[in-house]
Structure 1
Amino acid sequence: MVDPTTGPLVGTIFHLLLAAGLGALIGLEREQSESGGSFAGSRTFPLIALYGALVQAFFPSVLPVAVGTLVVPLTVAYVGKIWYEGDIGLTTLVAALVTVILGAMAMHSDRGAIIAIIGGGAITVLLSVKDPVHEFANQIEESERRASAKFIIVVLVVLPALPDRSLGVLYGLNPRFIWLMIVFVTGLGFAAYVLGQMLGPERGIALTGIVGGSVSSTATTVSMAEKTTQNATLYHVCAFAVVTASIVIFPRALIEIAVVNPDLLSSVALPLGAMTVVGAVAAGVLYWLTASNETVEPEELKNPFRLRPALLFGVIFAAVLLVSEHANEWFGASGVYATAFVSGLADVDAMTITLSQLAAEGAVSTEVATTGIVIAAIANTLLKAALAWVLGTHRLGRLVSIVLGAVVLSGLAFLVV
């Protein structure tokens, strides 16, 4: 690759080629999908990207005018496309306009070039998944659409309006931070839900555990346990789903820590990583032991983008945050660990984010935060084993307990080390 730092001319050529490459990438997708038709394709999109790049390079002050000027021929071409092909879709037209901006960004700076690469890749992926996206949209029920719309509106309206400071009336809590964490945690579940809906009900037992665990590992465990009471021969495949759903909370916690307090990640990565690896290996063995004719219907996944569960998580998170902070002041590390175990039975996310935030503020040490997060994860894992015993068959409970017991021991071993 040419080093753009060797000189201004070489750098300009490099960024021009980058802009053309991004345009070609989008243009090839439009032509291969036959969505562009006679409107634009593999030759037009690189030219459009170069247009934006050249204007940005030599006439940056007139870029808005240049984009507006391009709208005229694009509109004429679009009208002609409607007239001759009867296709009124706006996707290709909008993609063309965005490509102009990507070309300008690629030329603007090195940072702009990086963002243009990420944006161009994301746009290409979005354009290429037309059918799955439309199928997913058609599968969404009216109640789910209303729930998602309400939550998104509340996020867009409430989040900016909340004060970004500690309030005495809330015992020192920051309302915007709490709501932001609600959006973040619920968004992780929603992403898994979208994946599950796009893959469809035939996605297989492996993804049933992964997706179900991301949305609600407890609900997945309960569902699988109940299925073994209906058909005891399914205990292998149901145990696999329970174990998979249970270990999903560990990488999920690592993601939350990376967002809230990246400095804590290296300390927590070893015990949670060990629990993930041991659980994944055990799940692989269970999958191998599962007979090919053993099938189980996945549980009905509900849209996690609902206001009431989101608010409930917010209340739990706020309570855990307050209790953990005061427990550390009054009882030291032992108070934090007791809080972590109790709260971990209900929700690992709340304790993970709480201790990550307290460690970032210096309210608790890195060691205490790490131990507390692992304790919360262990408590939640033990709860899954207990649910398998109580709600499922004896075989399911024994198998899940052995596997999750090994997972817990691995976490404790690396925590002690």
Structure 2
Amino acid sequence: MAVPLVVAVFIALGIGLLIGIEREWSDPGTPFAGSRTLPLIAGFGALVQAFFPDLLPIAVVLVGGLVVVAYVSKVATTGDIGMTTAVATMLTFVYGAMATHSDTGLRLAVVLGTVTMALLAEKRAIHEFADRLDEAEMRASLKFLIVALVVFPLLPSERIAALGGLDLRFVWLMVVFVSGISLAGYVLAKLVGSEVGFEVTGALGGLVSSTATAVSMAENARRDDSLTGLCGIATVIASLAMFVRILLEVLVVNPALFVPVVVPITGMTVVGVVVAAIEYRSIRGDAPLAADIENLFRLWPALLFGVFFALVLVASAALSAEFGAVGVYSVAIVSGLVDINAITISLSNLSRSGDISTATATGGIVLAASVNTAVKIAVVWLFGTRALGRTVVVVLGVVAAVGIGFVVL
């Protein structure tokens, strides 16, 4: 390990301490494992893994036995059958062993330990969220898990020559990735409630679907003229939040492309914020705006996105080979009219494999983002009011123009 053993052991103790403190804070009545016991258990796991790795299975059995005895005693004395602390105790032992196993194990132990503590601390919020889920949302979540965990391993790992060398596993992995981003945004929206301030509505709506948010805000403005200004701001925020999705997709697919893309995207965002502050400086107050965004995972839309993504990927590679940057930009414009995710991931992947240059990939992504931003203007004019259209066209028009300027210059 690159990290000194003594440091890894103390990190393990720290993980146990944090989880132990949380357990005492959340369950002060019957903490059979708390701020003293859990650090010791984590340290025990770390030392056994470091010095007696062959004895680790025996240590697991020993700790498991102690947990069983403590749990049975708790149930007998209090009648509480909750197993959260028992499970947290076993996980703490595992995290301690991971901390001294390897550098990767140490990093993973820190991340998982933090996540575990967060899950334990947010008990009430998680239960409230679960209570708000309806049957349709539960079915959607199950479908997503089936797609993510079952379909992907069944796809062929080799490229399909008849489909232009397409890698079906990569295509489906990106379908799951894009759907996962939208699902995460939807979960956040459910956690904060169905009606929130316009800033939160715009930001979360942009993570789920900036186009759907624009449509929803247009309908809000049509129903109530007094909300025109707030709906305009929410639409702009959603459009700018779309840039976060773009950067996340680039970072995951091709980290080397992140810096070239982040410069123009940040420029577009900053200009959008400044122009929006000037355009909406006279608007005061706030109002709860319902985004009315449904992001229930559906298999057919996911399949359609996969097909569209595959077409964009193949078309980008073919037109790039035939026409160079002009061919890539042509695909970016068409794709930007429909979906920004497909072209972003496609160009990031082609740049990673060396099929197109970094400059061409950056230009194509920024051009597609500009076109997709202009689409929001058309959506607002089509589904909203003229007043809303006028409040949006200035800000998003400037943002789109800045993006095109980056590509041209």
Determine the structure 1 residue equivalent to 2:310.
318
1:339 to 331, 355, 370: 331
- Summarize deviations over 1:255-304 as a string: whole Å, max 9, x none: 11111111111211111111122223444556754321x42431223234
Q: How far apart are residue 57 of structure 1 and its match?
A: 2.4
Matched residues, number: 408
- Summarize deviations over 1:332-377 as a string: whole Å, max 9, x none: 3222212111110110000001111111222222221111111110
2:7 to 14, 37, 56: 14
Contact (CA 8 Å) 1:189, 1:304: kept in 2 or not?
Answer: no
Which range moves more in the overlay, 225-234 or 321-330? Answer: 321-330
Determine the structure 2 residue equivalent to 1:399.
391
Letter of the 1:222 counterpart: V
CA distance in 1, matches of 2:164, 2:108: 40
CA distance in 2, matches of 1:193, 1:161: 28
> Matched residue of 1:363: which SS?
coil
Letter of the 1:265 counterpart: F
Change (3 A) 1:253 1:69: same
Letter of the 1:34 counterpart: D
TM-score after normalising by structure 1? 0.93
Gaps of 5+ in 1: 6-10
| Mapping for residues 288-367 of structure 1, pairs under 5 Å | 289-292=282-285, 294-367=286-359
CA distance in 2, matches of 1:351, 1:74: 52
Determine the structure 2 residue equivalent to 1:8.
none
Identity among equivalent pairs (%): 49
Change (3 A) 1:200 1:285: farther
Letter of the 1:240 counterpart: I
Contact (CA 8 Å) 2:49, 2:100: kept in 1 or not?
Answer: yes
Q: How far apart are residue 14 of structure 1 and its match?
A: 2.7
Determine the structure 1 residue equivalent to 2:404.
412
Letter of the 1:170 counterpart: L
Determine the structure 1 residue equivalent to 2:227.
234
Contact (CA 8 Å) 2:136, 2:296: kept in 1 or not?
Answer: no
Gaps of 5+ in 2: none
Matched, 1:248 2:238: no
Matched, 1:184 2:183: no
Letter of the 2:49 counterpart: Q
Q: How far apart are residue 379 of structure 1 and its match?
A: 0.7
Contact (CA 8 Å) 2:218, 2:388: kept in 1 or not?
Answer: yes
Determine the structure 2 residue equivalent to 1:65.
58
Determine the structure 1 residue equivalent to 2:161.
168
Determine the structure 1 residue equivalent to 2:148.
155
Determine the structure 1 residue equivalent to 2:264.
271
Q: How far apart are residue 30 of structure 1 and its match?
A: 0.6
Determine the structure 2 residue equivalent to 1:133.
126
Contact (CA 8 Å) 1:272, 1:411: kept in 2 or not?
Answer: yes
Contact (CA 8 Å) 2:195, 2:288: kept in 1 or not?
Answer: no
Aligned-pair Cα RMSD in Å:
1.9
CA distance in 2, matches of 1:155, 1:196: 22
1:103 to 90, 96, 102: 96
Which range moves more in the overlay, 31-40 or 348-357? Answer: 31-40
CA distance in 1, matches of 2:274, 2:138: 38
CA distance in 1, matches of 2:213, 2:321: 37
Change (3 A) 1:143 1:304: closer
Contact (CA 8 Å) 1:30, 1:36: kept in 2 or not?
Answer: no
Change (3 A) 1:167 1:35: farther
Determine the structure 1 residue equivalent to 2:362.
370
Contact (CA 8 Å) 2:201, 2:289: kept in 1 or not?
Answer: no
Determine the structure 1 residue equivalent to 2:199.
206
CA distance in 2, matches of 1:160, 1:288: 52
